[in-house]
């Protein structure tokens, strides 16, 4: 009997080690995909934002107001996010990954204006502040024993409210609404960083136990997309407070 219990404990230990190794590999893939997408976004944004000829195709260099193509580029990332969410089940993992990188390039186009509005030094400084905050929040979400799944519905409602308020303020141009959106947006996406990290961890544990290996590949892409959006939004909102205007 004692030998049987010892075998069971050994088997359980091996299984736990396999899960831990698989989880680490899965999360490393998520962060790896996200990092590549960030490089793509940064490269495209810098290339367009520092080129007067390219930038003028999207916005007026003097006022930074978008033209027709600029408006299309501004809303294209939002449309692509919904498109990927609707098509992910019919796409291969490779196709989903390619779409994610294409999305990150379009996102680079949409935020290229920051290189005309803010100094390069303040953009770099804000990026590193965002990276430190993001890493800390994501690490906390990964390691905490506290169940924060209840945050999800409130945070998603907050994101919807931010999108609506931001669209309305495009036409109103209210500084008060802009400030409120920036403050609330920073807090919401900070919370989403921790929430999404814990959600991705729990989803892996559930799906790996069910043997859904094909799902895991696509889940890594969608997980990278979630964390990428959190990072980009935190960066853009922080830039409103830390960025030095040109």
pLDDT given at position 153: 87
| pLDDT at residue 19, as a whole number | 63
| Greatest pairwise CA separation for the chain in angstroms | 82
Tally Cβ neighbours within 10 Å of residue 178.
15
Provide the whole-model pTM.
0.87
Give the pLDDT confidence score for residue 17 in this predicted structure. 59
Number of domain units in the chain: 1
Q: What is the mean pLDDT of each run of 10 residues along the chain (246 residues)?
A: 46 53 88 96 95 93 90 92 86 91 96 94 94 96 91 90 87 86 92 95 79 76 95 95 78
Q: What is the pLDDT of residue 52?
A: 92
Model pLDDT, residue 232: 96
Q: What is the DSSP code (8-state) at residue 181?
A: H
- Residue span of the structural domain in which 224 resides: 2-242
Residue with tokens 């367009």: 48
pLDDT at 1: 53
CA distance 7 to 65: 69
Spatial separation of the C-alpha atoms in residues 8 and 218, rounded to whole Å: 33
Please give the span between the terminal C-alpha atoms of the chain, in angstroms, as a whole number: 76
Looking at residue 7, its pLDDT comes to 38
């Amino acid at each position: 009997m004692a030998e049987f219990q010892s075998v069971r404990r050994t088997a359980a230990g091996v299984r736990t080690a396999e899960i831990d190794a698989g989880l680490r590999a899965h999360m490393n893939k998520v962060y790896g995909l996200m990092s590549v997408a960030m490089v793509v976004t940064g490269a495209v944004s810098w290339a367009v934002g520092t080129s007067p000829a390219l930038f003028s195709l999207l916005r007026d260099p003097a006022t930074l107001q978008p033209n027709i193509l600029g408006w299309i580029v501004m809303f294209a990332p939002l449309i692509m996010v919904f498109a990927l969410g609707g098509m992910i089940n019919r796409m291969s993992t490779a196709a989903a990954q390619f779409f994610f990188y294409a999305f990150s390039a379009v996102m680079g186009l949409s935020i290229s204006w920051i290189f005309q509005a803010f100094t390069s030094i303040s953009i770099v400084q804000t990026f590193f502040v965002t990276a430190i905050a993001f890493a800390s929040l994501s690490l906390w979400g990964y390691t905490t024993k506290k169940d924060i799944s209840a945050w999800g519905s409130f945070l998603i409602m907050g994101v919807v409210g931010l999108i609506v308020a931001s669209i309305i303020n495009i036409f109103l141009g209210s500084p008060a609404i802009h400030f409120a959106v920036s403050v609330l947006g920073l807090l919401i996406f900070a919370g989403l960083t921790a929430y999404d990290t814990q959600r991705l961890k729990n989803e892996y544990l559930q799906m790996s136990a069910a043997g859904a290996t094909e799902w895991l590949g696509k889940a890594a892409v969608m997980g990278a997309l979630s964390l990428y959006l959190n990072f980009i939004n935190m960066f853009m909102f922080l830039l409103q407070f830390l960025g030095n205007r040109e």
